[in-house]
Each structure stands twice: as structure tokens, then as C-alpha cells.
Amino acid sequence: MIEFKNIEKAFGDNLVLKDVSHLMETGKCNLIIGTSGSGKTVLQKCLVGLFEPDKGEIIYDGISFTEMTQDNRKELRQQIGMLFQGSALFDSKTVEENVMFPLDMFTHLTHQEKLKRVNEVLNRVNLEEVNKKFPAEISGGMKKRVGIARAIVLNPKYLFCDEPNSGLDPQTSMVIDKLIYDITKEFNMTTVINTHDMNSVMEIGENILYMDQGQKEWSGNNKEIIFSKNERLNAFIFASEFLKDAKDMRMLEAKGKISNDRDMDEMMM
């Protein structure tokens, strides 16, 4: 569980985060959504300590992250895995070496034990026969999966994903979403995902924080979001005509006005 209270962050005169508070729950996919420039990446970087918030408090399972010493933060960071937008794999290392890197750095396992663990996590993200390939030799979707494998290789308690679907086709995006969701449940992690992908929101959004102009505008889950009355959130979600139609259908469905497939077809006409 990660709780943050009254977070504020400014770059010069530009106040990027304004008094943001929320609770990220354990064992759930916690989504931070919002338009580009709404402050979600800055918020995530504050949560992992890449940026220092100007005000507010971040609490990891009851322990204040903001008040921790650098040494304590180092220890905590070994329980944090992060998937970056561009995967951030080390170019000069193979897939196997990339995934093995945290094990090399922080464990005293033998090479065979490390190799076994690497193969376990690579199998878990459905990657086979890519161990000896370099990041430049694999596809964007594969890079994301290697990024996930590297993030979970030390069995972290917290997983952060910064726009995991950016640059991926819808089908691969769904595969990545499902993978993150399954891993979250399997290892009971607190997963925090930055996204503006509506498919992800609807598929895996168990706890959603909607950010607008650096502020918390709305929070809820993927079942509530579709019926939200928040105008800004609706403008964000239903930016496409297709989704507006989908919402109308869901509303009518909820009221019992659509009873069968034929009625649905008529609605689509």
C-alpha cells in the first residue's frame, strides 16, 4: 500500500502537482490517468524518489518515504520494480544480462541459480529464445516484457509502470495489460500504472486516479468511471465518438432499455 498526502511539486514557477492525495492499494492495479502534461509522470517520479516533492508525504506500508535516510531508501528501492515508457533496457547488455543485472548487483546467488531465476521470469512474461539477443534486436512489445521481467526478478512489493502501452499496437497492449494484471495478483504487489490508454483503464483499472492540470480530479474504478458525472473526466474518456456511443449503450443497458443483440444493432445504426 502506498499512500501520498498533499503532494506539491514545482519546476521554477510552474506548479506541476497541486495538493495531490490518494491511496494505492495492495494487490490491485492502481492507475494514474490524465491528459499529456497533467502531472502523472511527475507524480510517479515523486513516488519512486526520482523527484523530491516540495510538500507532502509519501508513505510505503506505514513507513514515511519522504523522511527516510538515503540508506533506507536504497533498501526500499530493492523492493521496487519499474517499467519505463521506453523500457530503459541497457543497450550494451543482452536480454539475459539485463534481467540478471539486479540479481548480480543485490544477491549472492551462484550463476546457475541466477540463470534459473532469469529463465523463470522470462518464461513468466512469455519470452523464449531471446536470452542472447540485444535490445536493438527485439520488438517494442518484447522490450516491454523484458522490462517487466527485469522489474519483477527480485520479487518486488511495488511495481511502477510508466505508460506501458505507449508505441504498441492494441493487441500487444492488451497482452501487456493482462501480464501486468496477472503478475499483480500472483505476487500480491502494489502496482501503479501511468496511462492514458482507455483500453487499459477499462480492462485493469481497479483503482483509478484521474489527474487534471496537476490536481486530483476524480478517483474510482473501471466500473464507476463510465457513469461518472465529472465533466473533465468525461471529456477525457469520451474524446472519441465511438466511446461516446459505447457509453450511451452502457447507460441504456444499465437502465434495461437494451434487451437483446437486435436492439444493440439498432443503436449502432
Partner 1 sequence: MIKGMFTKPENVKMYWKEFMHQCNDIGIGSLGIVSIISVFIGAVSAVQTAYQLVSPIIPLTTIATIVRDTVILEFAPTLVCIVLAGVIGSKIASELGNMRVSEQIDALEIMGINTKAYLILPKIAASLVTIPLLVVIAMVLGIWGGRMAGTASHILSPETFDKGLVMNFTPYNVTFALIKSYTFAFIISSIPAYYGYYVKGGALEIGKSSTKSVVVSCIMLLFADYVLSQLLLNPAT
Would strands 158-162 and 80-83 be described as parallel, antiparallel, or unpaired?
parallel
Cell numbers at residue 260, please? Answer: 437483446
**Choice between 76 and 233, CB closer to partner 1:** 76
- We find the least distance from the C-beta atom of residue 258 to partner 1, in angstroms, to be 46
The stretch near partner 1 (CB under 8 A) out of 12-20, 52-60, 102-110, 184-192 is: 102-110
The pattern of x and - marking residues 148 through 187 that bind partner 1 according to CB under 8 A reads: ------------x---------------------------
Q: Give, as ranges, the residues between 42 and 61 that touch partner 1 (CB under 8 A).
A: 48-50
Residue with cell 540463470: 115
End-to-end distance of the chain based on CA atoms, in angstroms? Answer: 46
Figure out which of the listed residues 5, 77, 133, 232 binds partner 1, where binding follows CB under 8 A. 77
**Choice between 65 and 210, CB closer to partner 1:** 65
**Choice between 98 and 219, CB closer to partner 1:** 98
- We find the least distance from the C-beta atom of residue 7 to partner 1, in angstroms, to be 18
Residue 182 pairs in a beta bridge with none
Nearest-10 crossing angle of helices 261-268, 241-255: 140
d(CA 66, CA 257): 51
- We find the least distance from the C-beta atom of residue 83 to partner 1, in angstroms, to be 9
Residues 6 or more apart whose Cβ sits within 8 Å of residue 243: 198, 237
